[in-house]
Copies of this chain bind each other. A is one copy, B any other.
């Protein structure tokens, strides 16, 4: 590190310093910690959604990598001047977009340790602590969620940390696919059908596509406002029956606990009943809302999970663990292992052959894997179950508070019931706004403009969804730094923009 001239390329690795010199590491490590601590301290001064235009960075950086080293000071200056303006600040307390990416000091430190050790934990042997801590932490977390013991190592199931829900779904779908094809023959891959709802995350469709499921055999079963956009067991049964009649083979169902558009919850128990009748693998995608289920008052949302085959949630969403960290549990690890294992000679070792260890490479897509359990372990221990529940409850309370503010203003409406820490709302168009088009179209256009106006201001950031044809603004609480005052500010900003829009409309300016 530092400005090494090419004339000092003598010792260690051909230059004046070893790239992992402990004292350089210490010095520059402290520098970056201070940079990040200051970033968090000052984060409110940045526009939440980045204001840059496409192509902005190309104008700031050279076309080729430098031939000679650059100093840490130069690089940090570029980060402040060129990278920070291009960030959308997911850690800002004024960030209410998509779903949260809730960081924490403990999660960060765990990631640092994992990065520092930089072990490649593909099997037990390659770093026993990485595998064993993961099995322990997954059992801890499974117990916190009151998952049935059949999902825990202590009950012959087990948990694994994946990068994302997309990977978790792809792995379980591949396991389900191969189990089925082993029964009915490989040549029937084109007959397999995958089921979700029209609210299921796009990860399911993508996983099905990657796994070679015929795209025409992907069912996004329609939902409606009547079921609050939850998948109805009757609709599922109808879809399955129709496919069976056509000679297709129902394979996989993915109910959601906390959909991306509106945090809708599919009724797991009744859906599992239908699925089991037809022999489907059921994977529960609780990517966002799973964490809330460590609180007794939210646990009922995953009632019925005991009938599912697998369950996952993202600790990197709303559980204070930095990206990426998806927690996946399966009842039958051998189904994963059969579909995903490899056993090349160069990885053979006594521990694997003893069959007394878990080799996580056989539970995931990739061979190599980071020591992800470190950060989850740090989060669980640093905060403890009691505080983690309180953190989540505080977010829900803030969302409730926002919901109350919206509800008191008759110009707005709450579009769907709030289940967790996200409020879906919209501005109602004035009764006679002199605009053409259906009332729905007008309302949608109004809210699209309102949201773009708010986000362009940079003061807060929210995103949208459309359910049942209704464009709505999603207000997702969960950024770690958010406090009551930020929620109040958010409502103030939303109202100001609405006031100004409605005034302009009344004056005929829009």
Closest beta carbon of chain B to A472's beta carbon, Å: 10
Chain B residues whose CB sits within 8 angstroms of the CB of A189 once the complex forms: 189-190, 212
Q: Is the CB of B463 within 8 A of A202?
A: no
Residue of A103, A393, A483 contacting most chain B CB atoms (<10 Å) = A103
Of the listed stretches A162-170, A299-307, A404-412, A488-496, chain B binds A162-170
Q: Is the CB of B186 within 8 A of A187?
A: no
A356 to B66, CA, bound (A): 27
Residue of A26, A261, A394 contacting most chain B CB atoms (<10 Å) = A26
- Interface set, chain A 168-222, CB cutoff 8 A to B: 170, 174, 177-178, 186-187, 189-190, 201-203, 205-206, 209-216
Q: Interface readout for A15-26 with B: 1 if CB under 8 Å, 0 if not?
A: 100111111111
- A381 adjacent to chain B (CB < 8 Å): yes
A384 to B69, CA, bound (A): 4
Chain B residues whose CB sits within 8 angstroms of the CB of A465 once the complex forms: 345-346
Q: Is the CB of A386 within 8 A of B105?
A: no
Residue of B72, B108, B206 touching A342 (CB-CB under 8 A): B206
- A269 adjacent to chain B (CB < 8 Å): no
Chain B residues whose CB sits within 8 angstroms of the CB of A436 once the complex forms: none
Q: Is the CB of A26 within 8 A of B33?
A: yes
Chain B residues whose CB sits within 8 angstroms of the CB of A28 once the complex forms: 105, 109
A395 to B190, CA, bound (A): 50
- A443 adjacent to chain B (CB < 8 Å): no
CB nearest neighbor in B for A140: B65
Residue of B69, B202, B385, B390 touching A13 (CB-CB under 8 A): B390
Q: Is the CB of A382 within 8 A of B70?
A: yes
Beyond contacts A170-B365, A206-B365, A210-B365: 10 other A-B pairs, Cβ-Cβ < 8 A, are A1-B106, A9-B390, A32-B113, A36-B113, A65-B144, A69-B383, A70-B384, A87-B117, A203-B366, A346-B466
Q: Is the CB of A128 within 8 A of B32?
A: no
- A141 adjacent to chain B (CB < 8 Å): yes
Q: Is the CB of B37 within 8 A of A118?
A: no
CB nearest neighbor in B for A209: B339
Q: Is the CB of B14 within 8 A of A390?
A: yes
Q: Is the CB of A120 within 8 A of B382?
A: no
Q: Is the CB of A385 within 8 A of B66?
A: yes
Chain B residues whose CB sits within 8 angstroms of the CB of A91 once the complex forms: 20, 117-118
Chain B residues whose CB sits within 8 angstroms of the CB of A211 once the complex forms: 210-212
Chain B residues whose CB sits within 8 angstroms of the CB of A41 once the complex forms: 22
Chain B residues whose CB sits within 8 angstroms of the CB of A118 once the complex forms: 90-91, 101, 103, 322-323
Chain B residues whose CB sits within 8 angstroms of the CB of A106 once the complex forms: 1, 19
Q: Is the CB of B384 within 8 A of A67?
A: yes
- Interface set, chain A 41-66, CB cutoff 8 A to B: 41, 50, 52, 54-58, 61, 63-66
Chain B residues whose CB sits within 8 angstroms of the CB of A190 once the complex forms: 186-187, 189-190
A463 to B324, CA, bound (A): 30
Q: Is the CB of A386 within 8 A of B6?
A: yes
Closest beta carbon of chain B to A68's beta carbon, Å: 5
- Interface set, chain A 93-135, CB cutoff 8 A to B: 98, 101, 103-106, 108-109, 111-113, 115-120, 124-130, 132-133
Chain B residues whose CB sits within 8 angstroms of the CB of A507 once the complex forms: none
Chain B residues whose CB sits within 8 angstroms of the CB of A201 once the complex forms: 344, 367
